[in-house]
C-alpha cells in the first residue's frame, strides 16, 4: 500500500464555514482527537488573522501529540515589501509550527483583479515568500489557490506559478479547487499535464460547491497525489471542503492506499461525532459511512436480503468505520423488519407466528394515520409487547387537565397541568407548572409518578419535534409529536399522533415513561 498523507484543515478552513467557531480549548481538544486518529498534519489556523489563532499555536506547543504535525496557514507576502518585513509572514514564523502553509495566486484574473499587481510581480511574491519561509520553518507547503480555474484560463501562467514554488524548494505543492466548480474528468486531465512539468510532491485541496470535492480528491489520489487536504464532516467555506470522513475510508478500503493506521478506521464515526459536538451541530443522518442512516435499511425487500447476506445492500461492513447496521420499521416493512427488530429487543418471534402479521398490520395501519416508528423505536417496542401480552401496566392515568393563562397583557403566559394517576391501589393527584403546556404536562406526570418510581428523576427530555400532517378529505390535520428522551445509559424515541397537539404529546410522554420503567425492570432482572 502506498501512503497518502492526510492534512486536516477543520481548525482553519472548517472554521470558515457559516455558524462554526471553535474556542481555543475546543481546537486543542479536536487536535488531540485528530492526532489519536492518525491524521498526519493538523492545520490549526491563521496566526496573522486573529488573537485566538495565535493563542492556539501557543497552547498546542504545551501539549504532547503522539505523531501529528501542526501547520500554520497564511498567504504570500504583500506587494512592495520583503518577506522579513511582512507581518503575516513574521507571525507565521513566530507561531513556531512544524509546517508553514501559504497560499498564492495562480489565476491571472485573480492577480489582476484581487491583488492588482503584474503577473511577474506575483511570481516574485510566490518565490521569495516561500524561499524565506524555507529558511525559517522545518517544512513548507504551497497551496496553489484557484489552480484549476487558473489553468483553464491560462495554463502557461498557472504552471509558471507552480514552477516558482518548485524553485523555492517547497516540500509539497497543493493544487486547490478553491471555487469548487471543477469536474473530476477535467481535474484528471489537468493533473496529468501538471505532472509533466512539476516534480515536487503534489497535494489536493478541493471545495464542494459542485458536490465533487470527494470525487475530485479521490481522482487526484488515483493519479498519484500524495497529500489530501480536507475537513472532518466536510465543514468549510460556502458548501464546505472535501469530507475526510468519506475520503479516508474510500482510499483505504476501496483504493488500497494507506493513510491513517488501518485499525483507526473503526474510530471514524466517533471522530465525526466528536467534531459535530464541539461545533454544536447536529450530526447529518444521511452522511455516508458515519451517519445514522448510512447503514439503515427500511424497505422490506432490503431487510429480508441483508439478513441472508449483508453485502446485498451494504457497500462495506459498517463495523469497519465504527458504524452499525440498523433496521427501520415503517409501512414499507415486511415480516423481515419485524423479526429483525424483535431480535434487537430480545423478543422471540417466529415469521409464521400470527402475532408477527398482527404487528405488521398494526404498524401499517398506524403509519397510515400518521405514526412514524423510524425515530420512535421505544414506542415500537411497547407496541410489540402489547401484541405479545408481555406489556406491564405500571400505572394508569385517570385524567389530566392543562391550562394556559395570561393574567395580564404585560405578563408572560403561564402553563399549569394537573393529573390524576393510579399506581397499584393508590391514587395520586398532582399539579405542576411549565414554560409551555407540554412542559407543564411532562412535569406533572413525572411529579405524580416519581414518588412510586424514583428512577424517573434520571429521565431527561432531549428533543421534541412537532409535525403537522396533511389533512385528508374533510378531516382536520393530524399532529405528530416525536420525543427523544434519555437517561445515563441510553436514549430512546417515542411518538404520539392526534388532531390535538397536547394529546399527541401526552401519548409520546407516556410511552417515554413506560419504556423507561420496562427498561429498568428488565436490566434489574438480567442482573439477578
Ligand atoms: C482560499 C482561502 O480560503 S484563503 C483563506 C481565507 N481566509 C481568511 O481570509 C480568513 C482570515 N483572514 C483575515 O483575518 C483577514 O482577511 C486578514 C488578516 C488576512 C487580512 O485582513 P486585511 O489586512 O484587513 O485585508 P482584507 O481582508 O480586507 O483583504 C485581503 C488582503 O489580502 C491580500 N491578499 C489576498 N490574497 C493574497 C495573497 N495570496 N498574497 C498576498 N496578499 C493577498 C488582498 O490583496 C488584500 O490586500 P489589500 O487590501 O491590501 O489589497
Ligand atoms: C487554500 C485554500 O483554502 C483554497 O484554495 O481553497
Reported as a single tens digit per residue, the pLDDT across 194-224 is 999 999 999 999 999 999 999 999 999 999 9
Is residue 90 helix, strand or coil?
A: helix
Q: What integer pLDDT is reported at residue 471 of this predicted model? A: 64
Going from the Cα of 516 to the center of ligand 1, the distance in angstroms, rounded, reads 55
Is the pTM for the entire model greater than 0.90?
A: no
* Average pLDDT value over all residues in the chain: 95
Report in angstroms the alpha-carbon separations of 317 from 8, 236, 313, 323, 442. Answer: 25, 29, 10, 8, 41
> If you average pLDDT over residues 252-272, what whole number do you get?
96
- Above pLDDT 90, what percent of the chain? 84
Encode pLDDT of 429-442 as tens digits.
999 999 999 999 99
Q: First vs last Cα of the chain: how many Å apart?
A: 51
Q: Is 55 helix (H, G, I), strand (E, B) or coil?
A: helix
Q: Ligand 1 atom 4: the closest Cα is on which residue?
A: 103
Integer angstrom CA distances of residue 413 from 350, 380, 402, 405 = 52, 35, 13, 6
Nearest ligand to the CA atom of 176: 2
Measured between alpha carbons, how far is 375 from 500 in angstroms, rounded to an integer? 20
The CA dihedral of 305, 310, 312, 313, to the nearest 10 degrees, is 90
CA of 157 to the centre of ligand 1 (A): 22
Cα dihedral 81→83→88→89 (10° resolution)? 180
Distance CA 107, CA 88 (A): 22
Q: Residue 352: which pLDDT band, with cuts at 50, 70 and 90?
A: confident
More confident residue, 332 or 200: 200
DSSP tag of 177: E
- Residue 342, pLDDT score: 85
Which stretch of DSSP H or E encloses residue 307?
Answer: helix 300-308
Q: What is the pLDDT of residue 85?
A: 97
pLDDT band at residue 367 under the 50/70/90 scheme: confident
3-state secondary structure of 51: helix
Residue nearest atom 6 of ligand 2, based on CA coordinates: 178
Give the containing element (helix H, strand E) for 1.
none
Mean pLDDT of 139-152: 98
| Residue nearest ligand 1's atom 50 by CA | 78
The verdict on the CB of residue 105 being under 6 Å from ligand 1 is: yes
Task: With beta carbons less than 8 A apart as the criterion, state whether 45 and 11 touch.
Answer: yes
Q: Convert the pLDDT of each residue in 84-142 to its tens digit.
A: 999 999 999 999 999 999 999 999 999 999 999 999 999 999 999 999 999 999 999 99
Quote the pLDDT of residue 475: 56
CA of 327 to the centre of ligand 1 (A): 49
Q: Give the C-alpha distances (Å, rounded to integers) separating 205 from 216, 219, 346.
A: 9, 12, 47
Alpha-helical regions (H) of 23-67: 24-37, 51-61
Q: State whether the beta carbon of 485 lies less than 6 angstroms from ligand 2.
A: no
What are the φ/ψ torsions at residue 81 (nearest 5 degrees)? -130, 160
Q: Are 444 and 417 in contact (CB under 8 A)?
A: yes
pLDDT in tens, 405-436: 998 889 999 999 999 999 999 999 999 999 99
Which domains, and CATH codes, for the chain?
5-260 (3.20.20.70), 353-387+459-528 (3.30.160), 395-452 (3.30.160.740)
Q: Find the 205 Cα to ligand 2 centroid distance in Å.
A: 7
Contact 381, 329 (CB under 8 A): no
Task: Report the Cα 338 to chain-centroid distance in Å.
Answer: 29
Rounded to the nearest angstrom, the distance between the alpha carbon of 13 and the centre of ligand 1 is: 14
For ligand 1, the distance from its centroid to the CA atom of residue 240, given in whole angstroms, is 19
Residue 175 Cα to ligand 2 midpoint, Å, equals 9
Maximum pairwise Cα distance, the chain = 91
Provide CB contacts within 8 A for 61, sequence distance 6+.
Answer: 96
Q: 322 pLDDT exceeds 70? A: yes
Output DSSP code: residue 422.
E
Q: Does the CB atom of residue 145 touch ligand 1 within 6 A?
A: yes
Give the distance (Å) from ligand 1 centre to CA of residue 102. Answer: 12
The 3-state DSSP class for residue 148 equals: helix
Distance 297 CA to ligand 1 centre (A): 47
The arrangement of strands across the sheet holding 426-434 comes to 396-405, 414-423, 426-434
Q: Tell the residue nearest (CA) to atom 4 of ligand 2.
A: 178
Indicate if the pLDDT at residue 474 is higher than 80: no
Q: Tell me the residue ranges of DSSP E strands in 256-392.
A: 296-297, 326-327
Separation of alpha carbons 139 and 132, rounded Å: 12
CB 115 near ligand 1, within 6 Å: yes
Q: How far is the CA of 115 from the centre of ligand 1 (A)?
A: 10
- Are 514 and 498 a contacting pair, CB within 8 Å? no
How far apart, in whole angstroms, are the C-alpha atoms of residue 173 and residue 393? 68
Q: Is the CB of 145 under 6 A from ligand 2?
A: yes
Nearest CA residue ID for atom 27, ligand 1: 49
Q: Are 98 and 71 in contact (CB under 8 A)?
A: yes
**Pocket probe mutation, ligand 1, options 18, 49, 143, 206, max atoms within 8 Å of Cβ:** 49
Residue nearest to atom 23 of ligand 1 (CA): 49
Pocket test for ligand 2, best of 74, 102, 176 (most atoms within 8 A of CB): 176
Q: Is the CB of 103 under 6 A from ligand 1?
A: yes
Atom of ligand 2 nearest to the CA of 178: 6
Residue 516: half-sphere exposure toward Cβ, Cα within 13 Å: 26
Amino acid at each position: 500500500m502506498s501512503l497518502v498523507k492526510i492534512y486536516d484543515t477543520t481548525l482553519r478552513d472548517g472554521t470558515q464555514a457559516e455558524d462554526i467557531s471553535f474556542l481555543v480549548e475546543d481546537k486543542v481538544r479536536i487536535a488531540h482527537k485528530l492526532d489519536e486518529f492518525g491524521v498526519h498534519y493538523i492545520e490549526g489556523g491563521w496566526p496573522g488573522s486573529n488573537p485566538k489563532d495565535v493563542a492556539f499555536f501557543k497552547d498546542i506547543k504545551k501539549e504532547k501529540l503522539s505523531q501529528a504535525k501542526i501547520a500554520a496557514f497564511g498567504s504570500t507576502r504583500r506587494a512592495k515589501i520583503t518577506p522579513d518585513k511582512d507581518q503575516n509572514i513574521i507571525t507565521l514564523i513566530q507561531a513556531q509550527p512544524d509546517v508553514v502553509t501559504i497560499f498564492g495566486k495562480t489565476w491571472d484574473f485573480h492577480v489582476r483583479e484581487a491583488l492588482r499587481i503584474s503577473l511577474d510581480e506575483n511570481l516574485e511574491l510566490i518565490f521569495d515568500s516561500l524561499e524565506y519561509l524555507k529558511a525559517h520553518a522545518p517544512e513548507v507547503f504551497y497551496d496553489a489557490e484557484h489552480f484549476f480555474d487558473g489553468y483553464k484560463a491560462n495554463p502557461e501562467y498557472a504552471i509558471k506559478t507552480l514552477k516558482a514554488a518548485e524553485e523555492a524548494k517547497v516540500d509539497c505543492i497543493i493544487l486547490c479547487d478553491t471555487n469548487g466548480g471543477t469536474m473530476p474528468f477535467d481535474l484528471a486531465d489537468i493533473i496529468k499535464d501538471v505532472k509533466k512539468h512539476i516534480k515536487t510532491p503534489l497535494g489536493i485541496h478541493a471545495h464542494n460547491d459542485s458536490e465533487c470535492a470527494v470525487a475530485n480528491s479521490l481522482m487526484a489520489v488515483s493519479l498519484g497525489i500524495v497529500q489530501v487536504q480536507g475537513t472532518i464532516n466536510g465543514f468549510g467555506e460556502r458548501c464546505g471542503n472535501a469530507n475526510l470522513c468519506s475520503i479516508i475510508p474510500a482510499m483505504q478500503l476501496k483504493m488500497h492506499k494507506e493513510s491513517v493506521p488501518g485499525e483507526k478506521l473503526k474510530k471514524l464515526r466517533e471522530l465525526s461525532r466528536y467534531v459535530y459536538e464541539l461545533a454544536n451541530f447536529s450530526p447529518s443522518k444521511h452522511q455516508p459511512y458515519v451517519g445514522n442512516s448510512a447503514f439503515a435499511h427500511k424497505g422490506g425487500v432490503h431487510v429480508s436480503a441483508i439478513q441472508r447476506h449483508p453485502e446485498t445492500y451494504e457497500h462495506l461492513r459498517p463495523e469497519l468505520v465504527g458504524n452499525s447496521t440498523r433496521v427501520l420499521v415503517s409501512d414499507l416493512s415486511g415480516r423481515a423488519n419485524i423479526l429483525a427488530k424483535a431480535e434487537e429487543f430480545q423478543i422471540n418471534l417466529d415469521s409464521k407466528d400470527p402475532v408477527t402479521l398482527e404487528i405488521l398490520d398494526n404498524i401499517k395501519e398506524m403509519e397510515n394515520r400518521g405514526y412514524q416508528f423510524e425515530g420512535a423505536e421505544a414506542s415500537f417496542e411497547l407496541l410489540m409487547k402489547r401484541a405479545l401480552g408481555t406489556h406491564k401496566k405500571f400505572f394508569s392515568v385517570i385524567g389530566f387537565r392543562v391550562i394556559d393563562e395570561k393574567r395580564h397583557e404585560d405578563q408572560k403566559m403561564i402553563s399549569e397541568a394537573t393529573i390524576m394517576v393510579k399506581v397499584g391501589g393508590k391514587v395520586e393527584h398532582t399539579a405542576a407548572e411549565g414554560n409551555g403546556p407540554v412542559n407543564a404536562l411532562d412535569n406533572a406526570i413525572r411529579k405524580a409518578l416519581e414518588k412510586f418510581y424514583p428512577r424517573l428523576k434520571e429521565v431527561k427530555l432531549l428533543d421534541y419535534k412537532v409535525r403537522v400532517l396533511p389533512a385528508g378529505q374533510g378531516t382536520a390535520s393530524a399532529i405528530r409529536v416525536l420525543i427523544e428522551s434519555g437517561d445515563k445509559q441510553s436514549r430512546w424515541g417515542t411518538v404520539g399522533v392526534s388532531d390535538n397537539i397536547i394529546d399527541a404529546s401526552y401519548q409520546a410522554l407516556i410511552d417515554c415513561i413506560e419504556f423507561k420503567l420496562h427498561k429498568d425492570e428488565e436490566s434489574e432482572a438480567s442482573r439477578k
